[in-house]
Amino acid sequence: MSPRARPSRSPRPEEPVRQEDLRPLNLELVFRHILAAGQPISRTELAAATGLTRPTITRITEELLAGRLITETGLARNGRAGRPRVGLTLSASGPAGLGLDIRADGLAACVVDLGGTVRHLAFTPFRYAGRAAADVLAQLAGMTRAAVRAGAAQDLDVVTVTLAAPGPVRDGVVRSAPALGWRHVEAGALLHEALRPLDLPVMVDNEATLAALGELYAGDDSLGDFVYVSGGLGIGAGIVLDGRLMRGARGWSGELGHTVIEHDGLPCPCGARGCLQSYASLPAILGGEPAPAGLTPDVAVTSRAEAGDPATLAALDRAGTALGIGLANALNILDLDIVLLGGSFSLLASWLTGNVEAEIGRRVLTAAWAPVTVRPALLGPDAAVIGAALTSVDQVRRQPSAWLTGGPRARLPSVS
Return residues touching Zn ion (CB under 5 A).
Answer: 258, 268, 270, 272, 275
| Torsion sign (Cα): 195, 199, 205, 209 | negative
Closer to Zn ion by CB, 91 or 278: give it. Answer: 278
Distance, CA of 31 to CA of 397 (rounded, Å)? 8
Closer to Zn ion by CB, 275 or 396: give it. Answer: 275
CB of 264 to Zn ion, least distance (A): 13
Amino acid at 86: V
Closer to Zn ion by CB, 119 or 258: give it. Answer: 258
Closer to Zn ion by CB, 31 or 279: give it. Answer: 279
CB of 397 to Zn ion, least distance (A): 36
Closer to Zn ion by CB, 201 or 265: give it. Answer: 265
Other residues' Cβ atoms within 10 Å of the Cβ of residue 363: 15
Asked if 206 and 169 count as a contact pair (C-beta separation under 8 A), the reply is: yes
CB of 286 to Zn ion, least distance (A): 17
CB of 197 to Zn ion, least distance (A): 40
List of residues 6+ apart from 23 with CB closer than 8 A: 401
CB of 260 to Zn ion, least distance (A): 9
Strand order in the sheet with 94-102: 118-125, 106-113, 94-102, 156-165, 202-206
Distance, CA of 163 to CA of 385 (rounded, Å)? 8
Distance, CA of 52 to CA of 337 (rounded, Å)? 42
CB of 191 to Zn ion, least distance (A): 26
Closer to Zn ion by CB, 270 or 295: give it. Answer: 270
List of residues 6+ apart from 143 with CB closer than 8 A: 100, 107, 109, 122, 124
